[in-house]
Amino acid sequence: MSAPVFASGATKPGGERGVLLEARDVTMRFGGLTAVKQVSLQVHDGEIVGLIGPNGAGKTTFFNCLTGLYKPTSGQVTLRGDVLPPKPRDVVKAGVARTFQNIRLFHNMTAMENVMVGTYCRTKANVIDAIFRLPRHRREEKASTARAGELLAFVGLADKANTLSRNLPYGDQRRLEIARALATDPSLLLLDEPTAGMNPNETRDAEDLIFRIRDLGLAILVIEHDMRFIFNLCDRVLCLVQGEVLIDGTGDEVQNDPRVIEAYLGSPQAEAGD
């Protein structure tokens, strides 16, 4: 089975990759609480960017602002220069897909059916087409089935196509959620803690899968608490602390920054005074 095809990342003359996603001064307030404060971020074509920070730093809230689940209090998010609408369905159609920290599969549907759901944002058949099984519906259903089969093979679940998702092992459920996100034909994939709850072997498999997705031409933005995983994986890492950007740089720059170490481990001076 050949790998699924996605749109290749656009490269500017001279080999420089263009800006795919840009968040400018994104702020999200809930009443008197500011969860995200003036966060700016760029993701380039074909780039893997990590988003780290202690618990409560605002990482998932920021993801929700990027994907239309939240409308930012202020700031702007663009994809290839076009402002993303604050509606999840429209964001997906624009080319941004995501997975969630807590797996959100349709547990009474098979693996194949779960992935087919992801393809429907690109179909044009309407209710009448479906009720009477008109030619357009049959053509699109056949194409969706074939596409889902390709993606299940790509993530290593071809032999589980007819298994109910609730009966899949935890690691397979994570991979199935990624396959469903890929079925929307995104140019940018957002992964919220893709290795949470995984054992070391599953984590290595997840890393390999993400690299293979990048090699198909997609850009990836990933939240993760496993620091070894994130620094092995990412071209660039952004660290959030209390809703603000602490540093945005290469893995070496971020993991050796004293402020990042303090944010995760605490201040030695503070501990000495306790």
Domain boundaries along the sequence of the chain: 16-95+186-274, 110-184
d(CA 174, CA 99) in angstroms, rounded, equals 9
pLDDT in tens, the chain (274 residues): 456 656 555 555 455 689 999 999 999 999 999 999 999 999 999 999 999 999 999 999 999 999 999 999 999 999 999 999 989 999 999 999 999 989 999 999 999 999 999 998 877 776 676 675 777 767 888 999 999 999 999 999 999 999 999 999 999 999 999 999 999 999 999 999 999 989 999 999 999 999 999 999 999 999 999 999 999 999 999 999 999 999 999 999 999 999 999 988 675 554 444 4
* 26 touches 62 (CB < 8 A): yes
What would the two tokens of residue 135 be? 């030619």
* 78 touches 84 (CB < 8 A): yes
For 16, phi then psi, to 5°, come to -75, 130
Nearest CA to 25 out of 5, 11, 42, 7 is that of 42
d(CA 108, CA 88) in angstroms, rounded, equals 23
Write down the architecture of domain 16-95+186-274 according to CATH.
Answer: 3-Layer(aba) Sandwich (3.40)
* Helix segments in the chain, DSSP class H: 59-66, 88-94, 111-119, 127-131, 135-154, 170-182, 200-215, 227-233, 251-255, 258-265, 268-273
pTM of structure? 0.89
Q: What is the pLDDT of residues 61-71, one digit of tens each?
A: 999 999 999 99
Q: Looking up tokens 């809230």, which residue turns up?
A: 61
